[in-house]
Structure 1
Amino acid sequence: MTAPGLFDEILARGAAREAVSDAAWLAALLETEAALALAAADAGVLAPAVAEAVGRACAPDRVDPGAIATEAAASGNPVVPLVAALRGVLRADGADEAAAAVHRGATSQDVMDTASMLVATRAVAAVTADLSAAADAAAALAARYRDTPAAGRTLLQQAAPVTVGLRAAGWAAGLDAAVAALRTWRPAVQLGGAVGTLAAFAGDGRAVRAAFARRLGLEEPTLAWHTERGRVAELATVLGRVGVAVGSVATDLVLLAQTEVGEVREDVPGRGGSSTLPHKRNPVGAVSARAAAVATPGLVAAVLTAASGHEYERAAGPWHAEWVPLRELVRTTGSGAAWLADSLSHLVVDQDAVRTALDVTGGLLLAENVTTVLRGRVDDPKALVTEAASTALDSGRPFADVLADALSGTDVSRAEIDAALDPAAHTGESAALVDAFLAARHAARHQEEPT
Structure 2
Amino acid sequence: MRPSSSPSEALLRGLSGAVEVDAELDDRHLLQALLDAEAALARAGAEAGLLPVPVAEEIAGHCQADRYDPAALGAAAEAAGNPVVPLVRRLTEAVSPSARPWVHHGATSQDILDSALALVVTRAAVPLLGQVDTAAGAAADLARAHRDTLMVARTLGQQAAPTTFGLKAAGWLLGLHQARDRVAQACAALPAQLGGAVGTLAGYGSTGLAVADRFAAHLGLAASPLPWHTRRQPVLDLAAALGGLLAATGKIALDVGLLAQTEIGEVTEGGAGRGGSSAMPHKRNPVDSVLVAAAARRGPGLVGTLFAAAGQEHERATGGWHAEWEPLLDLVHLAGGAAARTARMLTDLRVDPQRMRANLDATGGLLLAEAVATRLAPALGRATAHQVVARATTGTGFREALLADPEVTAHLSEADLDAALDPAGWLGCAAELVDRALAIHEGGSG
Give the TM-score band, short-chain normalised: over 0.9
Aligned to 1:262: 265
C-alpha displacement of 1:424: 2.0
Could you tell me which of 369, 373, 376 is aligned with 2:375? 373
Percent sequence identity over aligned pairs: 46
Asked whether 1:33 is paired with 2:32, we answer no
Find the aligned partners of 1:411 and 1:26 in 2 and give their Cα distance: 77
C-alpha displacement of 1:132: 2.0
Counting matched residue pairs gives 436
Could you tell me which of 64, 68, 72 is aligned with 2:77? 72
Could you tell me which of 252, 256, 260 is aligned with 2:255? 252
Asked whether 1:209 is paired with 2:233, we answer no
Asked whether 1:226 is paired with 2:229, we answer yes
What aligned pairs does 1:7-406 form with structure 2 within 5 A after superposition?
Answer: 7-90=12-95, 95-185=96-186, 186-308=189-311, 310-377=312-379, 380-391=384-395, 397-406=396-405
Aligned to 2:443: 443
What SS class does the counterpart of residue 162 from structure 2 fall into?
A: strand
C-alpha displacement of 1:72: 0.8
Q: Residues 14 and 406 (structure 1 numbering): CA distance in 2 closer, same or farther, change over 3 Å?
A: farther
Q: For residue 23 of structure 1, what is the amino acid of its counterpart?
A: R
What SS class does the counterpart of residue 161 from structure 1 fall into?
A: strand
User: Which is further off, 426-435 or 413-422?
Assistant: 413-422
Find the aligned partners of 1:183 and 1:327 in 2 and give their Cα distance: 16
C-alpha displacement of 1:368: 0.3
CA contact (8 A) 2:162 2:427 kept: yes
What SS class does the counterpart of residue 5 from structure 1 fall into?
A: helix
Aligned to 1:410: 410
C-alpha displacement of 1:374: 2.2
Q: For residue 404 of structure 1, what is the amino acid of its counterpart?
A: L
CA contact (8 A) 2:139 2:170 kept: yes
Find the aligned partners of 1:128 and 1:439 in 2 and give their Cα distance: 20
User: Which is further off, 142-151 or 234-243?
Assistant: 234-243
Q: For residue 277 of structure 1, what is the amino acid of its counterpart?
A: M
C-alpha displacement of 1:44: 1.5
CA contact (8 A) 1:62 1:89 kept: no
C-alpha displacement of 1:260: 0.7
C-alpha displacement of 1:189: 0.8
Q: For residue 410 of structure 2, what is the amino acid of its counterpart?
A: T
C-alpha displacement of 1:377: 4.4
CA deviation map 1:123-166 (0-9, x unaligned)? 23332222222111111100000011111111111111111101
Q: Residues 409 and 101 (structure 1 numbering): CA distance in 2 closer, same or farther, change over 3 Å?
A: closer
Find the aligned partners of 1:193 and 1:120 in 2 and give their Cα distance: 23
Find the aligned partners of 2:233 and 2:323 in 1 and give their Cα distance: 15
C-alpha displacement of 1:398: 2.4
CA contact (8 A) 1:14 1:338 kept: no
What SS class does the counterpart of residue 197 from structure 1 fall into?
A: coil
C-alpha displacement of 1:13: 2.7
TM-score, scaled to structure 1: 0.93
CA contact (8 A) 1:363 1:399 kept: yes
Asked whether 1:420 is paired with 2:420, we answer yes
C-alpha displacement of 1:440: 2.9
Find the aligned partners of 1:101 and 1:338 in 2 and give their Cα distance: 43
CA contact (8 A) 1:15 1:126 kept: yes
What SS class does the counterpart of residue 189 from structure 1 fall into?
A: coil
Find the aligned partners of 1:351 and 1:134 in 2 and give their Cα distance: 21
C-alpha displacement of 1:255: 0.6
C-alpha displacement of 1:2: 6.7
Q: Residues 411 and 61 (structure 1 numbering): CA distance in 2 closer, same or farther, change over 3 Å?
A: closer
What SS class does the counterpart of residue 390 from structure 1 fall into?
A: coil
Instruction: Quote the RMSD (CA, aligned, Å).
Output: 1.7
CA contact (8 A) 2:176 2:249 kept: yes
CA contact (8 A) 1:145 1:165 kept: yes
What SS class does the counterpart of residue 160 from structure 1 fall into?
A: strand
Find the aligned partners of 2:13 and 2:314 in 1 and give their Cα distance: 38
Gaps of 5+ in 1: 392-396
C-alpha displacement of 1:350: 0.9
CA deviation map 1:32-61 (0-9, x unaligned)? 101110111111211111111111100111
CA deviation map 1:337-392 (0-9, x unaligned)? 1111111111111111101111111100101001122233457322110100122x
Aligned to 1:394: none
User: Which is further off, 47-56 or 118-127?
Assistant: 118-127
Q: For residue 82 of structure 2, what is the amino acid of its counterpart?
A: N
